[in-house]
Structure 1
């Protein structure tokens, strides 16, 4: 296991796809409440073409949790610190939910470090400050376990639950193992994150992928991101919030086509 030690916490990361300098980099950024393994199907499909960098967001998976609250600046700064430590000048980027918000922040503030950008099941502003405050209070009083049933319903359709019960159970087990401080800290970042007026600053080729039945970030949120960025496209796939798992073969095909559709440098 590989770790980057930072002043307040450490980040767990993993590189797949070999060591060839001929391959472009592709970085994946997970959603709130998951770890890097949510991208396993994408790594299996794309590691022949790309050197793939995954990491556990602060407070998630094997990464440690500094004291909350966090900001979107903090989450974006973690990505840049990891790229700097690994001497990665530029990478394609794919993030889902809060990972997609992190990708938007990077596109606004550090677009030259990114090639093509894929933003999945996300929005320029997710939810409301009041809603995230209520979520924080629920975790502090009842723990993460109390959130599992509602989380499972938001993330996956009933059909996926039935057909891929083991995969769903694995994701929910990872959810239950997350540091409460890490989860609360990221909820605080979501409560204050609002990039709606800054999308036009993103000049990278951008693909917004929505889940057709996503109750968290519906297709209209992704359409707005694609319309707001300078070079944005939108596609909607079957599934709810964790659309990269529910529609993995389609998702992988769309991702491969988009990443190969144009130059990485804008």
Structure 2
């Protein structure tokens, strides 16, 4: 977690784009981030996959890692966690809870990052980005559902909610990505690369690929709402963080088990194209 935080801080060029390119259900609730491809970005990508798979298989292991980082910070007065303690102190939560919430916030930021190549429509980058968002959404849902990390920040709840809806909207495009990967020819497309071929074979049984992302998102939202004291309090927290009425309607629909409400995508952003 510490290395991921350090890597994230090394991304020098980040520009917030307006939410006008997002679907009406998401705007103006959030702004995605554009970042260039750098070594730091590659480090974050690797950390997300490793931590995501650990979180999905055993959320308690992530909790143990967080506790270890907190224990380390107690021996180092210059540890990066100390400035977070001051930020979260009004919430009167423990150092472990502070570290967990900080990791959660960083994870959502990393998962929501959009590289310039994705914005420009480079096919492979779109495929990787959809996989990263889906993997992160399921991992964060596992952590929250398994009570490995608590969530008290309305803003983080808003951003995670938007990520969950984003993953739902691009579910069809994700499925198309996987079907295309399944159809790659060993000789011509994979250049007889046995390692890559084996990796693709393992992916066919990946729980990230075969899960019902809508039901996973619903379970995560319901757990988040319970943490805020109920659905009404959760909606109030989303509003307090800047969530739109349309966003709250979409969240309520998913939480009720009805899926997303019909949306007219008029923008030219990837969110509109991502539905396939």
Higher strand share: 1
TM-score with structure 1 length normalisation?
0.28
Higher helix share: 2
TM-score with structure 2 length normalisation?
0.28
- Relative contact order: is structure 1 or structure 2 higher (C-alpha 8 Å, sep ≥ 6)? 2
Larger radius of gyration: 2
